[in-house]
Amino acid sequence: MINHLIKLLDLFPITAKMCGLDLPERLQGKDISELLRNPQIKVRENILSANNKGASSHLSVKDHRV
């Protein structure tokens, strides 16, 4: 099992790379394919998430602490 912080933005780069596509430099997501070979590496130290739905908005920070 791999237990790492990744974002949905990270799914496009790994999918594109596995399909043999070139990745534009402007992508915000990270290629996480190295996790498949080495589950010990860290891709991200933390993740900031913002959600603004109508009258309620949420801001959250996630890191490796449980």
User: Considering the domain boundaries, does residue 44 fall inside one?
Assistant: yes
User: Considering the domain boundaries, does residue 2 fall inside one?
Assistant: no
Q: How many domains, in total, are found in the chain?
A: 1
User: Considering the domain boundaries, does residue 55 fall inside one?
Assistant: yes
The domain of 43 spans: 8-63
User: Considering the domain boundaries, does residue 19 fall inside one?
Assistant: yes
> Angle at Cα 59 formed by Cα 64 and Cα 42, nearest 5°?
25
CB atoms within 10 A of CB 14: 19
pLDDT by 10-residue block (mean), the chain, 66 residues: 77 89 86 83 82 78 75
Enter the pTM of the model.
Answer: 0.62
User: Considering the domain boundaries, does residue 49 fall inside one?
Assistant: yes
Could you tell me if 5 and 64 are in contact, meaning their C-beta atoms sit under 8 angstroms apart? Answer: yes
User: Considering the domain boundaries, does residue 1 fall inside one?
Assistant: no
Give residue 66's pLDDT.
Answer: 56
User: Considering the domain boundaries, does residue 3 fall inside one?
Assistant: no
Token pair, residue 34, equals 């190295």
